[in-house]
Structure 1
Amino acid sequence: MKRSGEVVVNQVVLGVMAVLVLAPVVVFLLTALSPDISGRPALTQLTWGNFVEAWHVADLGRAMGVSLTISVCAVAGQLLLALLGGFAFGVLGVTGEKVLFPVLLLGMMISTEAIIVPLYFQFRDVGLVGTLPGILLIHLGMGVPFGVFWLRAAFRALPRSVFEAAELDGAGPLTTLRLLGAPMVRPAIYTLALLSFMWTWNDYFLSLVFLQGDLQPATVALGSFQGRYTTQINLLAAAGLIVAAPVLGLYVLFQRRFIAGMLAGSIKE
């Protein structure tokens, strides 16, 4: 009987939390579908054309193409470097690890605002301001430290005997990583990929400073659109939902793997 009461209480609490989380989302969606420029919800008259108008007026097709290019390239580079670094620190052992690893983690501790000015002038001197390679280098530099930290923890949670057996069988480090290490930490890799994509896609500050003109991504295009159409709340909400859709879609598709990856490494075998 006591067990049933706990289940009921848990379900009630979860239901209330779900309503609190979903209510703003529903209101935002109704605002985007409102025929009134003030964004007042109208359940009897949903205007889906707001999304089409916002897409064309804000030039979101071009901007989201730029965002997708930056995000995919940045995530691929971060995953590759994080896998190599995480495997080196977590399994192989690195000479001077007690010094090198804390130095690597400094990349997670220094805020963007503290380095943005010198970074801009350095990139300007070498011609990387206003280019996609320039913004990709910045995302790699800021994302790889966390990726190495994340995958190092995942590798250290695996049984050491697996890698020792592979070494005895004559497998080299890259072969061991490709055939054993990477498949065993796949949930952590999925989670890192989703987090990296989300952070890169949602970036506004770096893109605003380092990219101009046709290379501006969706977040900057949305900011410009907001400045020009401040009074048209329904179009602003529609544009915001369009820009947020890729991240939301990826999370819905891979939510189970994302949660599994968040839990990976919490229990060390």
Structure 2
Amino acid sequence: MISRTERTLNHFVLVFVSILVIFPVIWFVLAALSPDTSGRIDLTNLAWVNFVTAWNLGAFGPAMLASTVITVGAVAGQTVLAILSGYAFGVLGVIGQKIIFPIILLGLMISSEVFIIPLYYQFHAIGLTDTWLGLIIIQIGMGVPFGAFWMRAAFRAVPPSLVEAAKIDGARSWRILWQILFPIARPAVFTLVLLSFMWTWNDFFLSLVFIADPAKQPATLALGVFQGQHTLQVNLMAAGSLIVALPVLLLYVFFQRHFISGVISGAIKE
């Protein structure tokens, strides 16, 4: 049983860590609201107009649309393929899976810088550079290894007796997946969606290589250009950064319970 001293110490550590995490965020928000270009905090005169100015100067409207299309398409593809591959490797069993699955996991170990140049020339040859579709395909391909590993672990955590009982009742593989296993693994799926959304939305390197047309660039590229043009205007740079980060923050706030539950359930056992 935890003593009163240990409980007090735990609360003190949690409060201290929370302050360390929250303070930079609050400072960043207040810098975005500063009327001074240096970002000097002034609580008596909050300049909400900085967000409007940053939005207009950075042309974030088309960029946010591009990021939304790319992210939604990539996350949808990653999630569907992750569920199917996780079910195949974790429940059905695939011929040669002891060889195939480690090969798929190599995608988690190989850095994108290794294959980015040949991949660019391949996509350029088939006309998929400077297109949202090309970037969506790349993001899906890079997200499948983790998704397959994640959903395989989630499905393997389900008692095998449940699957066997469904088979005895006459349920086929497709029904077992979507009506039995999927509802049980829903927290893991939510977590996968949130992680995939965050990684895809925040991507800068792949977008920089494959999207050269300013009219098609996602929000991260637009933010990079905006910060390069307004280096001395700290308040506008902070406002622009918050605009780009807002979708991820909102998604996490609304689905944080599912995220935490999915992380815990996915970490219990392989």
- Which TM-score band (shorter chain)? over 0.9
- Partner SS for 1:98: helix
Deviations 1:25-79 (A, max 9, x none): 0110111001111111111111000000001110111101110111111111111
Compute the TM-score of the two structures, normalised by the length of structure 1. Answer: 0.98
Answer yes or no: is the 8 Å Cα contact 2:153–2:269 preserved in 1: no
Deviations 1:140-169 (A, max 9, x none): 100011000000001111100011111112
CA distance in 1, matches of 2:230, 2:161: 61
**Residue 12 of structure 2 corresponds to residue 12 of structure 1:** yes
Answer yes or no: is the 8 Å Cα contact 1:158–1:268 preserved in 2: no
Deviation at 1:7, TM superposition (A): 1.5
CA distance in 1, matches of 2:17, 2:254: 22
Runs of 4+ aligned structure 1 residues displaced above 6 Å come to: none
| Structure 1 residues without counterparts, runs of 5 or longer | none
- The percent of aligned pairs where both chains have the same amino acid is 57
After superposition, the CA RMSD in angstroms is 1.3
Deviation at 1:265, TM superposition (A): 3.7
**1:76-155 aligned within 5 A:** 76-155=76-155
Compute the TM-score of the two structures, normalised by the length of structure 2. Answer: 0.97
CA distance in 2, matches of 1:263, 1:255: 12
| Structure 2 residues without counterparts, runs of 5 or longer | none
CA distance in 2, matches of 1:7, 1:145: 41
Deviations 1:91-150 (A, max 9, x none): 011110100000111111111111111010000001100111100110010001100000
Answer yes or no: is the 8 Å Cα contact 1:53–1:235 preserved in 2: yes
Partner of residue 230, structure 2: 229
Partner of residue 163, structure 1: 163
Q: Structure 2 vs 1, CA of residues 163 and 2 (structure 1 numbering), >3 Å: closer, same or farther? A: closer
Partner of residue 241, structure 2: 240
Answer yes or no: is the 8 Å Cα contact 1:86–1:155 preserved in 2: yes
- Partner SS for 1:47: coil
Letter aligned with residue 235 of structure 1: L
Letter aligned with residue 242 of structure 1: I
Answer yes or no: is the 8 Å Cα contact 1:86–1:152 preserved in 2: yes
Partner of residue 193, structure 2: 193
Answer yes or no: is the 8 Å Cα contact 1:187–1:261 preserved in 2: yes
CA distance in 2, matches of 1:175, 1:94: 18
CA distance in 1, matches of 2:29, 2:214: 30
Partner of residue 253, structure 1: 254
